[in-house]
Chains A and B, each alone.
Chain A
Amino acid sequence: SQQGEEDPQALSIQEGENATMNCSYKTSINNLQWYRQNSGRGLVHLILIRSNEREKHSGRLRVTLDTSKKSSSLLITASRAADTASYFCATDAAAGNKLTFGGGTRVLVKP
């Protein structure tokens, strides 16, 4: 079973627009992480947000975490064609340091 469920499954936007994707999870967590995966490649870590944090920024990325709703969002501002990738949330559950991944959001940024 997957801890994280992502929404939407796919997203198509024009270069310069913002992209928002959401992740919901089921159990309490230590932290939640977002990863990017380009087609056929490995995973690249983007941001880690701890359970006592509500918002975090890294460059054009903004992540929010609402533990009461068990949900997180990833916002990519001013998107570029190079942002085309799949984005995954992963939760580090309170019971251990194993990551459980969502199914991912496939983002296509059109030039």
Chain B
Amino acid sequence: NAGVTQTPKFQVLKTGQSMTLQCAQDMNHNSMYWYRQDPGMGLRLIYYSASEGTTDKGEVPNGYNVSRLNKREFSLRLESAAPSQTSVYFCASLGQVGETQYFGPGTRLLVL
């Protein structure tokens, strides 16, 4: 099993450009999450999907949209990137409530 995979690994954008970060898991997990991590800080939840077909806002949703394409895939879209969105983005999945989340390797995003 590959676990949780993310693409791309690294991206540079100009202010105002758009892009989609992709995440996929092969563990048949119901719940998926997007976090951002700024330098020297912990992770903050952007959006999550408790099950296929549902999405909800987390702590810092402004400037982002998500799509739960199917049970495996959960994408994060930046419609108009801003320098404040420079961060490392992590996707995670959860099999059962109360268990541990599994994290992808992260996407480093730099917005100029």
Residues of A bordering B, CB below 8 Å? 1-2, 4, 30-31, 33, 35, 41-45, 48, 50, 88, 90, 92, 97-104
Contacts and interface: CB of A to CB of B under 8 A. Distances in A.
Interface in B91-108: 92, 94, 97-106
A31 B99 CA distance: 9
A98 B33 contact: yes
Contacts of A50: 98
A45 B42 contact: no
B94 A97 contact: yes
B58 interface: yes
B50 A48 contact: no
Instruction: State the majority secondary structure of interface residues on A.
Output: strand
B103 A97 contact: no
Interface of B: 31, 33, 35, 40-45, 48, 50, 58-59, 90, 92, 94, 97-106
Given A50-B98, A97-B98, 6 more contacts: A33-B101, A41-B105, A45-B102, A48-B99, A102-B42, A103-B40
Contacts of A92: 98
A88 B50 CA distance: 23
Contacts of A1: 59
B103 to A, nearest CB: 4
A43 B50 contact: no
A99 B45 contact: yes
B44 to A, nearest CB: 7
Contacts of A97: 31, 50, 94, 97-98
Contacts of B45: 98-100
What 8 A-B pairs have minimum CB-CB distances, sorted nearest first?
A101-B42, A43-B103, A97-B97, A101-B43, A42-B105, A45-B100, A103-B42, A42-B103
A2 B42 contact: yes
